[in-house]
Structure 1
Amino acid sequence: MSRRIAWPRARARSPRGRRTRRGAWARRSPITRPRKNACSSRAQSSRRCARRAGASSRRSSGWRKGCGALARLARLLRIFRIGLRFGLLEFVPRFSGSRLIGLLARRRDEPRGQRLRQALETLGPIYVKFGQVLSTRRDLLPLDIADELAKLQDRVPPFSSELAVAEIERSLGKRIDELFSAFEQTPVASASIAQVHLATLKDGREVAVKVLRPGVERAVARDLELIDTGASLVERLWPDGRRLRPREVVAEFAHHLDEELDLMREAANASQLRRNFERSPLLCVPEVYWDLCSQRVMVMERMRGTPISQVRLLRDKGINIPALARAGVEVFFTQVFRDGFFHADMHPGNILVADDGRYIALDFGIMGTLTERDKNYLAQNFLAFFNRDYRRVAQAHLEAGWVPAETRLDAFESAIRAVCEPVFARPLKEIYFGKLLLRLFQTSRRFNVEIQPQLVMLQKTLLNIEGLGRELDPDLDLWLTAKPYLERWMREQLGWRGFARALRQEAPLWAATLPQIPRLVHRALAEDRLGALHETLERLADENARRNDLLAAFVVIVFAGLLGLVIALL
């Protein structure tokens, strides 16, 4: 059954692409079509539309990729232009000393570290944070550059309070007036990642509200891509680039940023540290309000205190400054050796002092962790250093796996002695142990030591604590303060109490494993039966061959002896 279809008399193109007269295609086409082809025609039309849509989508995607590539190129050109302006080509050996730098650099007369710092400040907040991370890698950088980068301040203009309120409402699912009875529109602190507003809960508790900057994840990903590209170029263009491992530093920086971009993780860090020092007379940590936290918003207890850098104001409040300095050292060693979990960003901007003399810790985005093995060998190293037992220091490094197993112990001991003896010739109160660790890191590079990231964070934190303690009390003797704590900790770890504690910790594992031992032994024997039989046969064959060899040798010797005897008789 078919029906007649009156095709429109429209201007059409021939199969060869030439325009035909009106209605020509219709006359050449069949006048009748089967009904079943109507669906086929619609399907073909749909496929044609889909192909056109796909082509359009590909063109749009290609356009977006092209725009993204152009944007990256523009950012790279901007970085290159700023690098030229501050004479940073000096850091690339093949350009060092070139007349090109003298022609293009405007501030060639300033020290190189200062020029690098100014360039990072010009590039923006993400590069400032990268410079801050670089400043902690004193095992990699020249000291003049590391000292200058340590001056970088992560200060950026705040974003609008309307955006902050919108982010809080979106993340927590309620209007701002339903969450807080009061919310201060002006932030009290602003950085490249987030800013902090003060507020009051409905029950009257005062809180601090930390909000991530809008679009910060996209900006971080974009800038990290460029920084990683720059690190790759450093490895290729700089002969010493591979040793400095710039891409490893970038990966470490990306890890820190990833932790700071997740406020739930920071809230968990704060909660853990608060639990560790719950009844401590030394350290106070704000309470986290979990019902008001998300990945982009964190609400915690508002802490009131005096910035630790304002020493005169602390004295006016009756705070015992020397005792405060000693307490800082004890807080550090307690975090490291008792808990294995320490605040790794303890610069003065993150520390307040309560009116009762306790430390108040802020900003928990960067934390360090140590295993039991790391803590044990670290304590042994500390004690051996100050006892000038350099062989024990070298042995501890080898036992911890911090030094390649093929390292000669006497050569490593000699290198450590050359570093430490000039330092220990001075009075102990003048020794900066963080700087001593730094020199040891630099020496260890000669022995292909892989410096563990947690040890680098520990060294950076120790430098901060030492510097802070010496600012509070120039006569602070770090070793005299820390040694009793370390010795007590070592006695607890290596004595009977430590052994009993280790047994208690392992008891549940052994309780679950012991009943399974017969079954596991039976399975192992069954699985290894053929292998054992094969080994036995090989051993018997070897013994048989060895006996045959001995027998042949014996026969030869006897035959030679008999032959010699016969010759002698003749």
Structure 2
Amino acid sequence: MSHARPLLSTVAAITLSTPLKSLAGTALCNTGDTFRHKALAVRRVLLAAEAVVVTGYDYKYSLGYGNRDLDVNDPDDEKERKARRSRLHQRSAERVMRMMRENGGIYIKLGQHLASLKYLLPVEWTRTMEPLQDRCLPSSIESIQALFLSDLGQPLTEIFSSFDLTPIGVASLAQVHKATLKQTGQEVAVKIQHPALSEFSEIDMVTISQLTTFIAWAFPEFEFFWLSEEIQANLPKELDFRFEARNSARTAVNFDRARSLGDPSTVKVPDVIWAQKRVLVMEYMNGSRIDNVEYLKANNILVSEVSKEMARTFSQMIYKDGFLHCDPHPGNVMIRPTPAGSPSHRNFEIILLDHGLYRELSPEFRLNYARLWTAIIASDEEAIKRHALSLGGIDAYELFACILTGRDWDVIQDAKLTKQVRNKEETSKISQGAGNWLVEIADILARVPRDLLLLFKTNDLLRALDEDMGADDGAQMRTFAVMGQYCAQVIYEAEKNDIKNSILSVTTTATGRAEVTVRVVVSAWTRGLGALFKAYCKFLYKKLSLNVFVWWIDLSQSNSLLYRILFKCERLLIA
């Protein structure tokens, strides 16, 4: 009986959707704020329910009874089956996208999340959702002024001496205006949450949760609870800009510390001047979106170097800091030529924006994740299987590795991850696989730790960013090689700590027991130092070999005279 409730309530909603939506629209023009709020809330729920239930029915019918005329053993019928499935994905994605665009707010955020899962969802879905990443409507200046009065008790004119009425950026949850602080005269960027969000965020989250329950009831093979769980866990923090201010400050400290320890970085995090729940004021920075290729060319910034630095930046956050920015789409990453006095070691700075969505990664998780990636890069199938099981409880390790890398299993199995460019044939194979293996992918996403979900998203966004920048063919191979260096260091540090602890354990025991001889202590130290030297040599070999890979990729993409000579020498040696 409990399973029937989501269906009955949703079907009832769909049955009444047309008259109720009409009533809600009429209410907007003829009633006060309280009734207007309720009418809008009802309309939002019905729009969402209608889109999801109709789409669910479409899938149930089209994948089952709708294919009754096709012979499973006929190759031509199999082609038709695939074509029908593609059309089904396309019209379903368009239906859901229209609903998300009309409802706005959290639904736009959800659509952006779906668009980022390029190697996890059918291409028809991710491609259709892509416009939601750029086409967000701004809130009116009147609503912005009202928000300042309600939240800060002051009008804009008392805080800012100038305030550009046209936003310089509009996202799903907020918009940004350029302004000048009245007290100091400093140019600032003012991030303001869309006022309407707080009005409907709670009901929207409940609606998404209930519709996820309906999907689970209608399609037991698809487990999408993780989607609503992630929204409920992360959205309240994203809607409180004080969390973003703290994340921003911590990230800036992390990269400053890395520089002080000798790790070069191009990252710049804008200083936050002050933050309230729905308003954040930070230093204003000139620059452009990182995917503005013309801007990069005009400022002599090499896309290959930007791609490499992005790989370093996010490897640093994942493996060393354990504090990860999980939303690196092009709107959240800016670039500019290196200003005077900058600590950047390149001719550009990467400016990280929007620090609302972060994930803290434990040392144990980072180590296991590094071991998994090291196994994937080395094409060690047994190790991939072992670490996939320990990290995510996943038996389907081949599919898991493909999800993680965005590469075909044959490429991983043949140890070509850092050696072979992803061609159109492989890209097409992966895109088709996302549709053909949808049930298996959904099962993996439902079972893996929540940390891995956001890492999947981050990986996909970074791969998409390389594509948007028009990065060279070696970009992904270079990324894997750079990441492999960080993985090697994490593993070495863990081995070093284990060896040190083992030596200290014997030494501590020796100081309290007379029967433990000096010879035993010396032997423990000798074995320990030998193991430490061996671990260091292993780490150094991996680091240097991956450095050579990166150098070779850079050289090959430049097509320089040196590369052509070395390539001919290599061909002669092989011959």
Following superposition of structure 1 onto structure 2, how do residues 117-266 of structure 1 map, counting pairs within 5 Å? Answer: 117-136=97-116, 141-153=121-133, 155-201=135-181, 202-240=183-221, 244-266=222-244
Following superposition of structure 1 onto structure 2, how do residues 65-464 of structure 1 map, counting pairs within 5 Å? Answer: 74-79=43-48, 89-93=57-61, 111-136=91-116, 141-153=121-133, 155-201=135-181, 202-240=183-221, 244-278=222-256, 279=259, 281-290=265-274, 293-356=275-338, 357-400=348-391, 402-403=392-393, 420-425=409-414, 428-431=419-422, 450-464=447-461
Task: Tell me, in whole angstroms, the C-alpha distance in 1 between the residues paired with 2:502 and 2:239.
Answer: 37
Task: Tell me, in whole angstroms, the C-alpha distance in 1 between the residues paired with 2:55 and 2:444.
Answer: 34
Task: Tell me, in whole angstroms, the C-alpha distance in 1 between the residues paired with 2:365 and 2:63.
Answer: 43
- Deviates further, 201-210 or 297-306: 201-210
Query: Is it true that 1:492 corresponds to 2:481 in the alignment?
Result: no
2:171 maps to amino acid: A
Post-superposition shift, 1:260? 1.6
2:481 maps to amino acid: L
1:199 maps to amino acid: A
Consecutive unaligned residues in structure 1, runs of 5 or more? 1-63, 100-106, 505-509, 511-570
Task: Tell me, in whole angstroms, the C-alpha distance in 1 between the residues paired with 2:241 and 2:123.
Answer: 33
Whether the aligned pair in 1 keeps the contact of 2:169 and 2:175 (CA below 8 Å) is: yes
Post-superposition shift, 1:220? 1.4
Task: Tell me, in whole angstroms, the C-alpha distance in 1 between the residues paired with 2:372 and 2:124.
Answer: 28
Whether the aligned pair in 2 keeps the contact of 1:344 and 1:368 (CA below 8 Å) is: yes
Post-superposition shift, 1:173? 4.2
Question: Is the alpha carbon distance of 1:448 and 1:193 closer, same or farther for their aligned partners in structure 2, counting shifts above 3 Å?
Answer: closer
Task: Tell me, in whole angstroms, the C-alpha distance in 2 between the residues paired with 1:165 and 1:495.
Answer: 57
Whether the aligned pair in 2 keeps the contact of 1:168 and 1:211 (CA below 8 Å) is: no
Question: Is the alpha carbon distance of 1:125 and 1:429 closer, same or farther for their aligned partners in structure 2, counting shifts above 3 Å?
Answer: farther
Residue 472 of structure 2 corresponds to: 473
Question: Is the alpha carbon distance of 1:272 and 1:166 closer, same or farther for their aligned partners in structure 2, counting shifts above 3 Å?
Answer: same
Look up the SS of the partner of 1:495 in the other structure: helix
Task: Tell me, in whole angstroms, the C-alpha distance in 1 between the residues paired with 2:148 and 2:228.
Answer: 31
Whether the aligned pair in 2 keeps the contact of 1:87 and 1:108 (CA below 8 Å) is: no
- Deviates further, 164-173 or 180-189: 164-173
Question: Is the alpha carbon distance of 1:96 and 1:231 closer, same or farther for their aligned partners in structure 2, counting shifts above 3 Å?
Answer: farther
1:145 maps to amino acid: W
Q: Percent identity?
A: 25
Post-superposition shift, 1:187? 1.9
Post-superposition shift, 1:423? 4.2
Task: Tell me, in whole angstroms, the C-alpha distance in 1 between the residues paired with 2:284 and 2:267.
Answer: 15
Task: Tell me, in whole angstroms, the C-alpha distance in 1 between the residues paired with 2:144 and 2:503.
Answer: 51
Residue 517 of structure 2 corresponds to: none
Whether the aligned pair in 1 keeps the contact of 2:328 and 2:461 (CA below 8 Å) is: yes
Residue 542 of structure 1 corresponds to: none
Whether the aligned pair in 2 keeps the contact of 1:311 and 1:472 (CA below 8 Å) is: no
Task: Tell me, in whole angstroms, the C-alpha distance in 1 between the residues paired with 2:285 and 2:38.
Answer: 46
Task: Tell me, in whole angstroms, the C-alpha distance in 2 between the residues paired with 1:171 and 1:273.
Answer: 27
- 1:225-254 Cα offsets, whole Å, 9 max, x none, are 2222222221222242xxx32333112122
Query: Is it true that 1:483 corresponds to 2:484 in the alignment?
Result: yes
Question: Is the alpha carbon distance of 1:484 and 1:158 closer, same or farther for their aligned partners in structure 2, counting shifts above 3 Å?
Answer: closer
Q: TM-score, normalised by structure 1?
A: 0.64
Q: TM-score, normalised by structure 2?
A: 0.63
Whether the aligned pair in 1 keeps the contact of 2:120 and 2:441 (CA below 8 Å) is: no
Consecutive unaligned residues in structure 2, runs of 5 or more? 1-32, 68-86, 339-347, 509-575
Whether the aligned pair in 1 keeps the contact of 2:333 and 2:350 (CA below 8 Å) is: yes
Task: Tell me, in whole angstroms, the C-alpha distance in 2 between the residues paired with 1:169 and 1:447.
Answer: 47
Whether the aligned pair in 2 keeps the contact of 1:132 and 1:152 (CA below 8 Å) is: yes
Residue 31 of structure 1 corresponds to: none
Look up the SS of the partner of 2:195 in the other structure: coil
